[in-house]
């Protein structure tokens, strides 16, 4: 269970909120270039909250979802098949802040990304960040950026000018893309734990295995 949870959080790292900005409400399908048995299939964004629906490829786990509440610094995993939920351990959440999804200024994102990397202590491999210019992704206006690490590894990132968030990345280790973006208010229930769900006690489970 713990190992599977770790896989979930590594997978959705590229979508976590890295900086507070005025958020647009929308939903989108998520496609990933990374071939794994676990994938994020749907994203819902509302204010400072994000819901990521996850397909695990594991019948016992079933479909799951991760709810990120940036305002309250809460991260909750919902396991629909078991009607349970669990708080994300800090050790799993911390690596997520190294990624940059929401962007305050789509036309000048590099300083923000570098600042967040410095705060997270992940700037050792920072090389360069260059604004390429306007581009179009799935019919939407974006700004394209190119990042080059000190090792020479290139990453391309597209920031949606209206949504103020990254909607596409392309890198050697795999990237992601938001498709079928639908703007509009999202139901509050998407970002809440169902009242009938019980909390998963990881400590109790570990004690039972001893």
Q: In Å, how far are 31, 135, 142, 186 from 168, measured between CA atoms? A: 9, 11, 10, 22
Residue burial 150-177, b: 16+ Cβ < 10 Å; e: rest: eeeeebebbbbeebbbbbbbbbeeebbb
Question: In the prediction, which pLDDT does 163 show?
Answer: 93
User: Using one digit for the tens of pLDDT, what is the confidence trace for 54-108?
Assistant: 776 655 555 688 888 877 778 888 888 889 998 865 544 443 443 568 888 999 9
Cα–Cα distance measured from residue 171 to residue 114, given in angstroms and rounded to the nearest whole number: 18
The residue ranges of the chain whose pLDDT is under 70 are 1-23, 34-40, 56-63, 88-100, 120, 202-210
Residue 151 C-alpha from the chain's centroid: 25
Helix, strand, coil tally for the chain in percent (to 5) = 25, 40, 35
Q: In Å, how far are 18, 113, 138, 170 from 129, measured between CA atoms? A: 17, 9, 24, 14
Question: In the prediction, which pLDDT does 121 show?
Answer: 73
Positions of E strands within 59-101: 64-69, 74-79, 84-87
In contact, 116 and 100? CB cutoff 8 Å: yes
Domains of the chain: 2-193 (2.50.20.10)
In contact, 184 and 29? CB cutoff 8 Å: no
Helix or strand run (H / E) with residue 91: helix 90-93
């Amino acid at each position: 269970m713990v190992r599977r949870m770790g896989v979930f959080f590594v997978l959705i790292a590229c979508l976590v909120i890295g900086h507070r900005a005025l958020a647009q409400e929308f939903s989108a399908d998520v496609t990933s270039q990374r071939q794994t048995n676990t994938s994020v299939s749907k994203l819902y964004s509302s204010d400072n909250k994000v819901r990521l629906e996850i397909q695990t490829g594991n019948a016992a786990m079933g479909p799951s979802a991760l709810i990120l509440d940036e305002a309250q610094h809460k991260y909750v995993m919902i396991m629909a098949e078991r009607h349970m939920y669990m708080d994300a351990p800090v050790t799993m959440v911390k690596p997520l802040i190294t990624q940059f999804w929401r962007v305050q200024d789509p036309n000048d994102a590099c300083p923000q990304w570098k600042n967040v990397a410095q705060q997270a202590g992940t700037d050792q491999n920072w090389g360069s960040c260059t604004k390429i210019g306007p581009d179009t992704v799935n019919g939407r206006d974006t700004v394209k950026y190119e990042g080059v690490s000190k090792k020479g590894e290139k990453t391309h990132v597209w920031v949606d000018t209206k949504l103020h968030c990254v909607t596409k990345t392309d890198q050697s280790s795999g990237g992601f893309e938001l498709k079928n973006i639908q703007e509009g208010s999202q139901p509050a229930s998407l970002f809440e734990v169902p009242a009938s769900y019980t909390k998963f006690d990881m400590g109790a489970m570990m004690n039972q295995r001893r």
